[in-house]
Structure 1
Amino acid sequence: MLAGVLYALVAGLMWGLVFLAPQMLPEYPAALLSVGRYLAFGLIALPLAWFDRAALRQLSRSDWLEALKLAAVGNLLYYLCLASAIQRAGGPLPTMLIGTLPVVIAICANLRDHRRDGRLPWLRLLPSLLLIAIGIGCVNSVELDALRRDTGADLGRYLGGAVLACLAVACWTWYPLRNADWLRDHPGRSPRTWATAQGVATLPLALVGFVLLWLGNSLGGGEFAMPLGPQPARFLLLMAAIGLFASWLGTLCWNEASQRLPTALVGQLIVFETLAALSYAFVWRGEAPLPLTLLGVALLVAGVLWALRVRPEPVAAEGHAG
């Protein structure tokens, strides 16, 4: 349990970095940020794949197809929606909507995976879900109040960002559930190998996306300076950093956590990503969070700690008891 929580914590710290890139490169199209990130992830995965080639050869065609699906939805589509949302609505709103993932995933996992992982009693799980939801609400209320005070805010653009963030939530509700399914069905396979396989599967998708963006920009007479944009050094450095730390290392740590914890609990630990992203956002802004924001963060942490005290009850045992 402790090792699983620590792996999830490191994954959250790594994944929080991806919320910074769209704010640091606001003039870059979200699609370019998405394919750039996963081109870096794929290129990083190639030498790792060479060292892990014996284990990768053991993956079947259906395994590679699953890795391709996870790469397309959990990587490219998710980050396309998230980066677009951040560029339209700013960092905090998408961060907090993504912060609902612990609640959404816990509910979905408890509904679909109770036979495999045991059922987390709803009444015992409810306090942690409420604490997390209230904490998210506290932080979000601060950001919405700031938006109302901004006379130059574009409400339509803001709402569009909210819709895109909800699509990102949908992508990342699907991803950890399907990813955990594969890891639980293949307990003898290394989480490191599976992380590398997803990186290898992502590379051709990202490469095709990059080429299509370049061609579309050239044929359409776009003014954006393809292929690396107006800040090539910053773009390359950021893509390499999040490709290594967020995409590969984050996925590896998440896979390790997924093998050690019930899906409903590991889903709630995505709250670490929200806390990390908020912390990085305030550092980037150069301002301290308000007391209500700090209260929300405390409630999020309390909700996670409460959830870790809840143990799943085997479904078979419940049936015999009846």
Structure 2
Amino acid sequence: MFTGILCIIAACFCWGLIFVIPLFLSSFSPVEIALGRYLFFGLTSLILLLGHRRHLFQKAYLGAWLNSIWFAFLSTLLSYTSIVFCIRYANSAVAALIFGMSPITIALTGNLFKKEFSFRSFIIPCLVMALGIMFTNIHAFQLDATNVSLYCIGFFCGLLGLASWTWYTIANFHYLKRRPMPTHDWIVMLGVSTLLLVFLSAGIYACLNSMNHYLHWSPELESFLLGSFILGTVSTWAAFYFWNRGNLRLPISLAGQLTVFEMIFGLLFVYLAEERWPTSLEVTGMVLMLIGVLAAFKSLRKVPSHATS
């Protein structure tokens, strides 16, 4: 179990970058940032497929390939594009606030499918985590009345991203339980399926928008390529690798609660980017989130072993 916990925390460290890197790519649209990220994720997976995973071309994997396309759409293009739209039209704090609720939504929804603890024992840990999330993002409630419509669009996109990510996390967990396969294989399949979706989406986007800024080398384009590379290889490929390895060793409810570290790492990265220390309220919020996770973990350990097997 300890190895699984470390894997989930490592995945959250990689995912934390998604909240800060888009802040440096303001010259590019949310769709472009999402496509750039998953282009590099897909290319990395394609290289691995052609070099070391050719057995995945066998007919026995046809069903897995079809499933990977659906999972790729939910976990990559829909979820992340929604988050970037939320960051752009609301703000990064609102995105972190909404997506920070994923530990609670994943744990509660996962527990509906497989009873791993009583909901009553989980109420207090959930409330503590929610309070911590609100404390760390209290400035997200500062709304400029002149941009209410854009804020609402961003807020809705954040909810859409949260819903798609919650569904993907639980569905992916149960799929790998039903059909165990090496972690590398499944990530490669997700990546290649994502690449197909990227080419399709990029073609449609190019027909509707000017692409002249890609024809001339510039510092902005250099930053975009570097940011996309980090998002695609670290925040996606490496994150999925650690996440899937952790999922095989932990109950989904516990894994879901541990994703609170994604928000904690994301906030720390934002503080570094803004060159400031967190406020006392933000520190209090992060401490409350950790207390909530520990309380939930303690509740889970009290459940008889046959309940989580």
Q: TM-score, normalised by structure 1?
A: 0.88
Residue 124 of structure 1: CA displacement? Answer: 2.5
Residue 141 of structure 1: CA displacement? Answer: 2.1
Residue 156 of structure 1: CA displacement? Answer: 2.6
Q: Quick check: 1:88–1:161 contact (8 Å CA) kept in 2?
A: yes
**Is 2:60 the partner of 1:68?**
no
Residue 3 of structure 1: CA displacement? Answer: 0.6
Cα distance in 1 for residues equivalent to 2:208 and 2:215:
12
Aligned to 2:213: 225
Q: 2:126 aligns with which of 114, 119, 129?
A: 129
Q: 2:117 aligns with which of 112, 116, 120?
A: 120
Cα distance in 1 for residues equivalent to 2:294 and 2:274:
29
Q: 1:247 aligns with which of 236, 242, 246?
A: 236
Distance 1:270 1:204, change over 3 A: same
**Is 2:110 the partner of 1:106?**
no
Task: Identify which range, 236-245 or 308-317, moves more after superposition.
Answer: 308-317
Aligned to 2:183: 191
Q: 2:223 aligns with which of 234, 239, 245?
A: 234
| SS class of match (1:28) | coil
**Counterparts of residues 80-229 of structure 1 (less than 5 Å):** 80-114=81-115, 119-144=116-141, 147=142, 154-187=147-180, 189-218=181-210, 225-226=213-214
Cα distance in 2 for residues equivalent to 1:77 and 1:196:
19
Q: Quick check: 2:96–2:137 contact (8 Å CA) kept in 1?
A: no
Q: Quick check: 2:214–2:221 contact (8 Å CA) kept in 1?
A: no
Distance 1:229 1:90, change over 3 A: farther
Cα distance in 1 for residues equivalent to 2:279 and 2:146:
21
Cα distance in 2 for residues equivalent to 1:303 and 1:239:
33
Aligned to 1:17: 17
Distance 1:301 1:55, change over 3 A: farther
| SS class of match (2:117) | coil
Cα distance in 1 for residues equivalent to 2:263 and 2:41:
22
Residue 183 of structure 1: CA displacement? Answer: 1.1
Segments of 5+ residues of structure 2 without an aligned counterpart are: none
Aligned to 2:5: 5
Residue 113 of structure 1: CA displacement? Answer: 1.9
Distance 1:201 1:10, change over 3 A: same
Aligned to 1:265: 254
Residue 229 of structure 1: CA displacement? Answer: 8.8
Q: What code does the residue aligned with 1:254 have?
A: W
Distance 1:43 1:228, change over 3 A: farther
Aligned to 1:40: 40
Aligned to 1:27: 27
- Percent identity reads 29
Number of aligned pairs?
A: 304
Cα distance in 2 for residues equivalent to 1:227 and 1:200:
26
Cα distance in 2 for residues equivalent to 1:244 and 1:159:
32
Cα distance in 1 for residues equivalent to 2:122 and 2:55:
38
Distance 1:124 1:51, change over 3 A: farther
Q: Quick check: 2:93–2:139 contact (8 Å CA) kept in 1?
A: no
Cα distance in 2 for residues equivalent to 1:175 and 1:7:
18
Cα distance in 1 for residues equivalent to 2:288 and 2:282:
10
Q: What code does the residue aligned with 2:78 have?
A: L
Residue 57 of structure 1: CA displacement? Answer: 3.7
Q: Quick check: 2:97–2:140 contact (8 Å CA) kept in 1?
A: no
Q: What code does the residue aligned with 2:213 have?
A: A
Q: What code does the residue aligned with 2:106 have?
A: I
Q: What code does the residue aligned with 1:206 have?
A: V
Residue 227 of structure 1: CA displacement? Answer: 6.2
Task: Identify which range, 284-293 or 198-207, moves more after superposition.
Answer: 284-293
Q: What code does the residue aligned with 2:10 have?
A: V
